Chains A and B, each alone.
Chain A
Amino acid sequence: MVIIQFIRPVKNQHPGKSADDITRLYPVPSPVLHLLQEACYDCHSNYTRYPWYTNIQPVGWIMAAHTRDGKQELNFSEYGSYSAKRQLNKLKRIREQIATNQMPLRSYTWMHAGARLSNLQKKMIIHWIDDVLQANKGTGY
């Protein structure tokens, strides 16, 4: 137990904003961006916030695995690296995941109260996605 405390995963905190960040592709109103940062970015971006207990192993390891899997599915910081088709398909699925309460994961919101989305907050994200899809209609899909 003592020894494993010295094996620490590399933190997912990249400096600066990536050239492929989603905010460079679509206009993201700041309240929506704030919601994404609070509810999604820990697992789906290059900027994870680490609460103090993630310094205790194996909590940090579990967190690192979650972040790795989450980024593989969807990474808002690398959104521009997806093909145009995949970008719009991902938005549709984000919309659906949020509308059907599949995301953010309950196992995550249980520990992170700030990541829980109210109905109004969900509507804000869904509305933003609908706007982006409408603006990009006929491109890449």
Chain B
Amino acid sequence: MKRTILGVLAIAFLLAACNNAGQPSQAGPDSVSQEHTSTAAADSAPVTALTPQFSGLDSKVATSLKMVVDQYLHIKNGLADDNSADAANGGRAMAEALAGVNPSLLTPEQQKVFTDNADDLKEHAEHIGKNEGNIAHQREHFAAMSEDVYALVKAYGGGRPLYHDYCPMYDNNKGALWLSEEKNVKNPYMAGMTSCGSVKEMIK
């Protein structure tokens, strides 16, 4: 009996969430629709907060890293708007911003996270910059880039709260993460499905 009540409640919640998101209510309570209940569910569900590993980062480095994150968000918003040229601008600007980070101001432990990710990130930024007009390829690099940026902000923070979002459908359902400055889901991977995805955690 208890189970039945819980089941009914779960279905009712899902249907409500789907309706709020403007999705047709015939979407059943299966796992796929649950992944795509989008913003309405994301707003009501509690989001775990994560505190960056290092505190007291050198202020120069913190400023230059924030510029890298700025450009990451620039690329993300370009892709979410299906604007390849804007994403490319962000890519070129990110490569420049990365060159402005001076890792020698960091402690060896802090430095390691940077060197583990910086060359990979630079390459993705350059490729996104070079591939204006090929948004599918830009998105491939963005998926890999997001892993690098996630590693960086988990260690240093992003200079602002960031949301770690997840799109389960990208790349034939392999899935991909991205980071966002806003709690509302704005998917940079799937054209025409911008509200699809879920919020995994918040990074302070």
Q: Do A and B come from one complex?
A: yes
Chain A residues within CB distance 8 Å of chain B: 82-86, 89, 92, 96, 140-141
Minimum Cβ distance to chain A for residue B126 (Å) = 9
Q: Lowest 3 CB-CB distances: which A-B pairs, in order? A: A86-B120, A85-B120, A86-B119
Minimum Cβ distance to chain B for residue A102 (Å) = 10
Name A83's contact: one of B115, B144, B147 (CB within 8 Å): B115
Overall SS of chain A's interface: helix
Please measure, in the bound complex, the distance between the C-alpha atom of A141 and the C-alpha atom of B120, giving whole angstroms: 11
List the A side residues contacting B140 at CB < 8 Å: 96
Name B116's contact: one of A84, A92, A96 (CB within 8 Å): A84
**CB-defined interface of B51-82 with A at 8 Å, one 1/0 digit per residue?**
00000000000000000000000000000000
Please measure, in the bound complex, the distance between the C-alpha atom of A92 and the C-alpha atom of B118, giving whole angstroms: 18
Query: Are B123 and A86 in contact, with the CB atoms below 8 A?
Result: yes
Minimum Cβ distance to chain A for residue B147 (Å) = 7
CB pairs A–B below 8 angstroms (20 shown): A82-B119, A82-B120, A83-B115, A83-B116, A83-B117, A83-B120, A84-B116, A85-B116, A85-B120, A85-B147, A85-B148, A86-B120, A86-B123, A89-B120, A89-B123, A89-B144, A92-B144, A96-B140, A140-B116, A141-B147
Minimum Cβ distance to chain B for residue A140 (Å) = 7
Please measure, in the bound complex, the distance between the C-alpha atom of A92 and the C-alpha atom of B119, giving whole angstroms: 16
Please measure, in the bound complex, the distance between the C-alpha atom of A96 and the C-alpha atom of B144, giving whole angstroms: 14
Chain B residues within CB distance 8 Å of chain A: 115-120, 123, 140, 144, 147-148
List the A side residues contacting B118 at CB < 8 Å: 83
Please measure, in the bound complex, the distance between the C-alpha atom of A83 and the C-alpha atom of B120, giving whole angstroms: 7
Minimum Cβ distance to chain B for residue A107 (Å) = 18
Please measure, in the bound complex, the distance between the C-alpha atom of A140 and the C-alpha atom of B117, giving whole angstroms: 9
Please measure, in the bound complex, the distance between the C-alpha atom of A85 and the C-alpha atom of B151, giving whole angstroms: 11
Please measure, in the bound complex, the distance between the C-alpha atom of A141 and the C-alpha atom of B117, giving whole angstroms: 10
Minimum Cβ distance to chain B for residue A103 (Å) = 14
Please measure, in the bound complex, the distance between the C-alpha atom of A133 and the C-alpha atom of B33, giving whole angstroms: 32
Minimum Cβ distance to chain A for residue B140 (Å) = 8
List the A side residues contacting B117 at CB < 8 Å: 83, 85
Minimum Cβ distance to chain B for residue A78 (Å) = 12
List the B side residues contacting A96 at CB < 8 Å: 140
Please measure, in the bound complex, the distance between the C-alpha atom of A83 and the C-alpha atom of B114, giving whole angstroms: 10
Please measure, in the bound complex, the distance between the C-alpha atom of A96 and the C-alpha atom of B140, giving whole angstroms: 11
Please measure, in the bound complex, the distance between the C-alpha atom of A86 and the C-alpha atom of B144, giving whole angstroms: 10
